[in-house]
Amino acid sequence: MRRYKPFRKMAFVIGCILLQFFLFQTASAQMDWLKSGQELLDSVTTPKNQTSSLTNNEIASGLKDALKVGTETVVGKLGQHDGFNADPAIHIPLPENMQRVKTALEAVGMSAMMEDLELKLNRAAEAATPPAKKLFWNAIEAMTLDDVKEIYNGPDDSATRYFESKMSEPLATEMQPIVEQALSQVGAIQTYDAVMGQYDSIPFLPDVKSNLNSYVVDKGMEGIFHYLAIEEAAIRQNPAKRTTDILQTVFGAK
pLDDT at 172 over 80: yes
End-to-end CA distance of the chain: 77
Which of 44-53, 169-178, 208-217 is the least confident region?
A: 44-53
pLDDT at 194 over 60: yes
- Highest-confidence segment of 40-49, 88-97, 133-142: 88-97
Q: pLDDT band at residue 92, thresholds of 50, 70 and 90?
A: very high
* Alpha-carbon 195 to chain mean position: 38
Please give the backbone phi and psi of residue 79, each rounded to the nearest 5 degrees, phi first.
Answer: -85, 10
For residue 174, give every residue at least 6 positions away whose Cβ sits within 8 Å of its Cβ, in sequence order, or none. 132, 135
User: Can you give the pTM of this predicted structure?
Assistant: 0.72
Which pLDDT does position 165 carry in this prediction? Answer: 85
Distance from C-alpha of 27 to C-alpha of 198, rounded to nearest angstrom: 91
- Highest-confidence segment of 77-91, 126-140, 149-163: 77-91
User: Which amino acid is it at 246?
Assistant: I
The mean pLDDT of the chain is 79
Q: pLDDT band at residue 33, thresholds of 50, 70 and 90?
A: very low
Q: How many residues does the chain have?
A: 254
Mean pLDDT within 236-248: 71
Distance from C-alpha of 211 to C-alpha of 189, rounded to nearest angstrom: 11
Give Cα separations from 58 to 216, 244, 246 (angstroms).
36, 13, 7
User: Which amino acid is it at 207?
Assistant: D
Give Cα separations from 183 to 27, 50, 178 (angstroms).
77, 49, 9
Among candidates 231, 207, 193, 210, which has minimal Cα distance to 77?
Answer: 231
Extents of the domains making up the chain: 2-45, 51-252
Q: Are 237 and 156 in contact (CB under 8 A)?
A: yes
Which pLDDT does position 159 carry in this prediction? Answer: 83
Mean pLDDT within 241-247: 69
Mean pLDDT within 73-84: 96
Say whether 40 sits in a helix, a strand or coil: helix
